[in-house]
Amino acid sequence: MIYLETPEAVKKAEEQARMLAEHVFRPISRKYDKNEHDYPTELDAFAEVRRKGGAGGGKKAPADASAIVNGGNMTGVSSIAQLCWGDVGLMMAMPGSGLGNAAIGAAGTPEQKVKYAGCYAAMAITEPGAGSDSKNISTTATLDGDQWVLNGEKIFVSDGERCSHIVVWATLDKSKGKAAIKSFIVEKGTPGCELVRVEDKLGLRASDTATIRFENCRIDRDCLLGDKPDIAATEEERKKAFGGVMQTFDNTRPMVAAMAIGVARGALDMCEELLSAEGINLDYKKNRMEVSAIEAELYELEADWEAARLLVMNAAWMADNSKPNSTEASMSKAKAGRMCNKVTLACVKLCNSLGYSEENLLEKFARDSKILDIFEGTQQIQQLIIARNVLGKSSADLK
C-alpha cells in the first residue's frame, strides 16, 4: 500500500530546507547567476547542515524485514527538492553536497564511510569519448604495488573545482568491458590530478563544472571504492561486478529527480503568484470544462508535477528499505527531468513578458531545468534502462 502523506520526521527536514531556500538562496539567486564563477560565501555558515549525513545516504536494511523505514534517502530527496525550490545551483554549491558523497554512501565500505565523512566529493564519470554509455570509459587504473595509477580525462565534473575529493570511474582492463570498471576516491591536490578548466554554462551557474585530467596520478590501494578489484570470469559474475558500481545511480538518480521536482515547484509557485495578481486563481472544485485555457493548463502541469513527485518518493523509499530500485530510480529521473523542462517553459509562456524578463526568476528556472534532464543519464538512457528491466533484456540484447 502506498501512503501519500509525508512522514513527520521528513516534514521537519523539509521545513528546515525550505527556510534555507527562502531566506538564503532566493535573495542571492540572481547574484550568482550573473557572477557564475564567484564562490557563494553566504553558504559557508550552512555547510554543516549538508554534512550531518556523513558521506551520503546509502541503503540501510531495517532490523525487521517487514518494517517500513523512511530514512536517509527519503529525507534526502525531500530536502533537496525544497532547497532547489530556492536555487538548484546554490544547492549543488553547498560544501558537502557533491554527488560523490552519495556514491561513497551507496558503495563505500564501513571504513570508507567513516574516513570520508564530512568530505566534499564530486563524481567524475563523463569523458570526451564516453558520455551516457558508462561502459565505454577509457580512463585507466593500473595497480602498481600498493598504489593505483590513474590516467585519463573527465569532463563536466559538477563541483570539480571546489570539492575536496573526487570519485573517479576508471577501467582496470578495457578489453574486459564493463566488468573492469571501478570507482576510486582521489583527494584533490594529489600529484597528477589537474584541474584543466571551469566551464561556462546555460544554467546551474552558481555551481562549478570542471574538466579534470589524471596523468600518472598515484593513490593508495584502499582508495578503491567498495569491494575488491577482482575481474569476474563468468557472464553472471560480470553483471554482478558492474552492478556494484552502477548501484551508485540507484541512489543519485532519485536525488537528481528531486532537484527537478524542486525547480518545477518553484516555477509553478511563482507563475501562480504572478497570475493571481492578474485575477487568475486556481479553484480545484471546478470542472475542467468550466475554467479558462490558462487555468486548464496549470491543472495539467500540477498533475504532471505530482506524478513525478510520487515516483521520486517511491524510488527513495525503496532504497531506504533495501528493495531493488533500478527501474524505479530511472523512472523517477526520466519523468521528473521531462516534467521539469515542460513545466518551467510553460510557466515562462503563461507569464508572457514577465516570464521572459530577468525581473523574475522564471527564465532562470527554465535555463536551470535543461541539465536536469541530461546529467546522471539522459532521457534516452533512462528509457533504455527501463525497457531492459521491464522486458528482461540485457544491454547486449537491447541497445
Span 77-90, pLDDT tens digits: 999 999 999 999 99
Q: Residue 295's closest CA among 265, 274, 275, 270?
A: 275
Instruction: Kindly tell me if the per-residue pLDDT of 302 is higher than 80.
Output: yes
pLDDT tens-place string over residues 28-39: 999 999 999 999
Query: Residue 350 above 90 pLDDT?
Result: yes
pLDDT above 50 for 60: no
What is the residue-averaged pLDDT of the chain? 88
Give the list of residues 6+ apart from residue 389 with CB closer than 8 angstroms, or none: 326, 327, 330
Specify the 3-state DSSP secondary structure of 100.
Answer: helix
pTM for the whole structure: 0.90
Confidence band, pLDDT 50/70/90 cuts, at residue 228:
low
Distance from C-alpha of 367 to C-alpha of 34, rounded to nearest angstrom: 13
**DSSP letter assigned to residue 217:** E
Higher-confidence residue of 246 and 335: namely 335
What pLDDT sits at residue 89? 97
Distance CA 280, CA 275 (A): 5
- One-letter-per-residue 3-state SS of 324-350: CCHHHHHHHHHHHHHHHHHHHHHHHHH
Name the phi and psi angles at 39, rounded to 5: -80, 130
Whole-angstrom distance, CA of residue 330 vs CA of residue 315: 9
Give the highest mean pLDDT range of 42-56, 61-75, 107-121, 252-266.
Answer: 252-266
pLDDT classification of 52: cutoffs 50, 70, 90: low
* Domain 1-117+235-399 part of CATH 1.20.140.10: yes
Instruction: Answer with the residue of higher pLDDT: 250 or 219.
Output: 219
CB-count burial class (<10 Å; 0-12, 13-18, 19+) for 12: exposed
pLDDT computed for residue 54 by the predictor = 41
Residue 348 scores a pLDDT above 70: yes
pLDDT at residue 229, as a whole number:
56
Q: Is pLDDT of 115 > 80?
A: yes
Query: Could you name the CATH architecture of 121-234?
Result: Beta Barrel (2.40)
Highest mean pLDDT among 248-252, 272-276, 288-292, 377-381: 272-276
What end-to-end distance do the CA atoms of the chain give, in Å?
Answer: 34
Report d(CA 263, CA 387) in Å as an integer: 27
> Does 58 score more than 60 pLDDT?
no
Cell numbers for 392, please give them: 528482461
Is the backbone of residue 228 left (phi > 0), alpha (psi -120 to 50) or beta?
Answer: beta
Closest among 265, 268, 212, 261 to 372, alpha carbons compared: 261
- Position 83: which residue type? L
Q: Which amino acid is at 306?
A: E
Domain with CATH 2.40.110.10 in the chain: 121-234
Between 230 and 160, the more confident residue is 160
Radius of gyration from C-alpha coordinates of the chain: 21
Q: State whether the Cα torsion 75-78-84-86 is positive or negative.
A: negative
Report how far residue 90's alpha carbon sits from residue 367's, in angstroms, rounded to the nearest whole number: 14
Q: Residue 63 has what pLDDT?
A: 47
Is the pLDDT confidence value at 393 over 80?
Answer: yes
* Closest to 94 in 3D by CA, of 68, 76, 108: 76
For residues 241-259, give the mean pLDDT: 79
Residues of the chain with CATH 1.20.140.10: 1-117+235-399
C-alpha span between 339 and 346 (Å, rounded) = 10
pLDDT at 241 over 60: no
3-state secondary structure 21-37: HHHHHHHHHHHHHHCCC
How far is it, in rounded angstroms, from Cα 374 to Cα 338? 10
For residue 340, pLDDT over 70 is answered with yes
User: Could you say which DSSP state residue 45 is in?
Assistant: G
Residue 244 has pLDDT above 80, yes or no: no
The residues assigned a catalytic role are: 376
Write down the residue that cell numbers 554554462 correspond to: 201
Helix (H) or strand (E) holding 131: none
SS3 63: coil
Q: What percent of the chain has pLDDT over 90?
A: 69
- Segment 372-386 shows an average pLDDT of 92
Rounded mean pLDDT, 80-108: 91
43, 94 Cβ separation under 8 angstroms: yes
| 71 close to 38: Cβ distance less than 8 angstroms | no
